[in-house]
Structure 1
Amino acid sequence: MLKSIRVLALVLAAAGISSTAFAAVQIATLAVPGMNCSSCPITVKRALMKVDGVKEVKTSFEQREAVVTFDNSKASLEKLSAASTNAGYPATVKAAN
């Protein structure tokens, strides 16, 4: 039995399968209506980039939104909203895939 477990572990390791193999990249658009000056998007972007798992953030002052690309095994929509809110810019999810 122990030998079978070792063999399985070796096979999985050789195949590169890990717990992150089931992670998916997700893109979410957050509405951030409180962005009212040209430096606000910079603050929002910095706050969102600090969330573990965030890969990319694009903010738009004109649209009052942030588009976030993240690993959903590490980050969540709730964490993203909280990060923006904690930076002083309350955010809600507009769209997510």
Structure 2
Amino acid sequence: MKKMLSLFALAAIAAVPAWAASQTVILSVPGMTCAACPFTVKKAISKVAGVNKVDVSYEKREAVVTFDDGKTSAQALMQATGNAGYPSTLKK
């Protein structure tokens, strides 16, 4: 019985990464005031663990970010842009 319980627990732990999903959010970054700003924003977001893809638009003043929600969150992405000097908010 203990062996079966141990195997069940191990299987449950191994399955945890399967619960994580890829998520895409759009961040509004109104503080981008020049064509060079998107490079800084993209670099800051790219450093966050779990980020898979980042597209930053100066014209739209936004960043479209795809990430693994098991490794990071939209809140962490907004914190990264804020720490780089470009506060952002989640676009609805």
- Taking structure 2 as the reference length, the TM-score comes to 0.90
C-alpha deviation, 1:38, in angstroms: 1.2
Residue 28 (structure 2) pairs with residue 31 (structure 1): yes
2:40 corresponds in structure 1 to 43
C-alpha deviation, 1:32, in angstroms: 0.2
SS in 1 for 2:91: strand
- Taking structure 1 as the reference length, the TM-score comes to 0.85
**CA deviation vs aligned residue, 1:47-97 (integer Å, no higher than 9, x gap):** 0011111100000000000000001111111101000000000000003xx
SS in 2 for 1:80: helix
Q: Which runs of 5+ in 1 are unaligned?
A: none
Q: Which runs of 5+ in 2 are unaligned?
A: none
C-alpha deviation, 1:23, in angstroms: 0.4
Residue 3 (structure 2) pairs with residue 3 (structure 1): yes
Identical residues among aligned pairs (%) = 52
* Count of residues in Structure 1 that have an aligned counterpart in Structure 2: 91
